[in-house]
């Protein structure tokens, strides 16, 4: 017997909206079974994991803080993926953005004015964009595979950061430890007064909304979607796929770079050998969970951040291994993709040889 996926003639509109909900419920169910098998009260664990972080102001704020860089990077990646540009190197663009943005507070610590912070953010965007334009240029000029080049540049970027914090940018008062000097107040991204929600969150939501308008209401948005779905049709309309590649990479690099400098300036206040727990890679998941739609990405980023904060919560309260949090994140992604697949395909069991067909894919 064989199992086949057969494309559905039409897919249910209701299920498009229900599928993420079903996926979350299935994740919760499976997670509960895992908790029970490891000898924990599944209800208590699930509560700690998914609900408890939402009940207290500080953990809610933590979740928002963790979601912010993910959402910002994922918004840029969505533009890339919609237009068929496979930028996998947001992690590196994040790091280089942080480096460019940190040039001012590290090299000119005495420059403290109201201009310091805006200049840092702009430098961060430039840095990230330049780093992303390298694979874009290689793709458009030499036809290299951007998945490989953008990914490889991640490692170059993190080694560059490593070199700088151990070498030229090391804190002169830091006992040779690998860290830059601490940023001055003028170089620190503030919070919204009266809360501990960073300005980075406000900026990120603003950018996501602007991107929504661009993608749905403007010619550029149309160009992005057309070139992604049918480059040939796009070229008849006079769109250049090379220019669009440069645009998409530049934009997503700039947003990743902005996320980088905002994390460093707002949360860490200095450069360290590691500045990202893998935001650039997690953002790829966020982009797809959010269906490459900025508003969807905000929701997806929040859900994923919740899984991190909730994972810490069950760890600290119930002594669960941190691997369980990773397993649950993996389950979530698995169920979302599985539910999505079943919207477009149905499963067919057959005992005979199936006729060769382009619409059948074997599992």
Partner 1 sequence: MKSLLKATVAAIAFAAAGSAANAADVKACFVYVGPVGDFGWSYQHDQGRLAVEEKFGDKVETAYLESVPEGPDAERAIERFAREGCDIIFTTSFGYMNPTIKVAKDFPDVKFEHATGYKTAENVATYNSKFHQGRYIIGQIAAKQSEAGVAGYIASFPIPEVVSGINAFMLGAQSVNPDFKVKVVWVNTWFDPGKEADAAKALFDQGADIITQHTDSTAPLQVAQERGMKGFGQASDMIAFAPDAQYTSIIDDWAPYYIHRVQEVLDGTWESHSSWEGLAEGHVVMAPYTNLPEDVVEMAKATEAKIKDGWEPFTGPITKQDGTVAAEDGVRLDDGAILGMNWYVQGIDDQLPQ
- Span from 71-79, 116-124, 243-251, 267-275 in contact with partner 1 (CB under 8 A): 267-275
Question: Site for partner 1 (CB under 8 A): how many residues?
Answer: 42
Does 306 sit near partner 1 (CB under 8 A)? Answer: no
Does 191 sit near partner 1 (CB under 8 A)? Answer: no
Closest CA to 43 of 330, 321, 329, 318: 318
SS3 349: strand
Q: Which of 109, 221, 231, 273 binds partner 1 (CB under 8 A)?
A: 273
- Span from 174-182, 249-257, 282-290, 333-341 in contact with partner 1 (CB under 8 A): 174-182
Q: What are phi and psi of 139, to 5 degrees?
A: -70, -50
Residue indicated by tokens 């064989």: 2
Binding mask 33-72 for partner 1 (x = CB under 8 A): --------x-xx--xx--x------xx--x--xx------
Does 272 sit near partner 1 (CB under 8 A)? Answer: yes
Please tell me the distance from the alpha carbon of residue 57 to that of residue 176, in angstroms, as a whole number: 38
Nearer to partner 1, 149 or 180 (CB): 180
Nearer to partner 1, 150 or 158 (CB): 158
Q: What sign results for the dihedral spanned by CA atoms 102, 107, 108, 110? A: positive
CB of 75 to partner 1, least distance (A): 19
Closest CA to 62 of 270, 341, 313, 253: 313
Please tell me the distance from the alpha carbon of residue 168 to that of residue 271, in angstroms, as a whole number: 12
Binding mask 91-110 for partner 1 (x = CB under 8 A): --------------------
3-state secondary structure 270-322: CCCCCCCCCHHHHHHHHHHHCCCCHHHHHHHHHHHHHHHHHHHHHHHHHCCCH
Q: What are phi and psi of 55, to 5 degrees?
A: -95, -15
Does 197 sit near partner 1 (CB under 8 A)? Answer: no
- Residues that bind partner 1 in the complex, under the rule CB under 8 A: 41, 43-44, 47-48, 51, 58-59, 62, 65-66, 162, 166-167, 175-179, 182, 263, 267-270, 272-277, 308-309, 312-313, 315-317, 319, 321-323
């Amino acid at each position: 017997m064989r199992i086949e996926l057969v494309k559905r003639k039409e897919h249910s509109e209701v299920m498009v909206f229900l599928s993420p909900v079903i996926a979350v419920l299935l994740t919760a169910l499976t997670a509960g079974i895992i908790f029970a098998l490891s000898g924990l009260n599944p209800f208590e664990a699930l509560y700690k994991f998914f609900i408890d972080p939402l009940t207290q102001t500080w953990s809610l704020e933590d979740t928002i803080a963790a979601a912010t860089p993910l959402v910002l990077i994922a918004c840029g990646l969505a533009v890339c993926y919609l237009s068929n540009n496979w930028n996998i190197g947001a992690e590196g663009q994040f790091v280089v953005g942080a480096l460019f943005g940190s040039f001012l507070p590290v090299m000119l610590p005495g420059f403290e004015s109201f201009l310091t912070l805006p200049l840092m953010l702009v430098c961060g965007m430039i840095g990230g964009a330049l780093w992303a334009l390298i694979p874009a240029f290689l793709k458009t000029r030499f036809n290299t595979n951007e998945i490989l080049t953008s990914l490889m540049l991640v490692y170059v970027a993190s080694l560059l950061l490593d070199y700088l914090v151990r070498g030229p940018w090391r804190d002169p008062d830091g006992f040779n430890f690998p860290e830059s000097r601490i940023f001055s107040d003028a170089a620190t991204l503030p919070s919204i007064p009266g809360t501990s929600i960073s300005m980075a969150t406000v900026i990120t939501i603003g950018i996501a909304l602007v991107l929504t308008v661009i993608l749905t209401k403007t010619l550029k948005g149309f160009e992005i979607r057309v070139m992604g779905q049918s480059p040939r049709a796009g070229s008849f309309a006079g769109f250049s796929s090379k220019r669009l590649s440069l645009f998409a990479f530049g934009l997503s690099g700039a947003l990743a770079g902005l996320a980088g400098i905002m994390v460093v300036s707002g949360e860490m206040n200095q450069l360290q050998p590691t500045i990202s727990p893998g935001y650039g890679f997690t953002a790829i998941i966020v982009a797809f969970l959010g269906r490459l739609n900025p508003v969807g990405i905000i929701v997806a980023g929040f859900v994923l951040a919740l899984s991190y904060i909730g994972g810490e919560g069950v760890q600290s309260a119930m002594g669960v291994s941190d691997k369980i949090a990773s397993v649950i994140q993996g389950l979530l992604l698995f169920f979302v993709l599985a539910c999505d697949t079943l919207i477009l395909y149905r499963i067919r069991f057959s005992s005979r040889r199936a006729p060769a067909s382009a619409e059948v894919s074997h599992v």
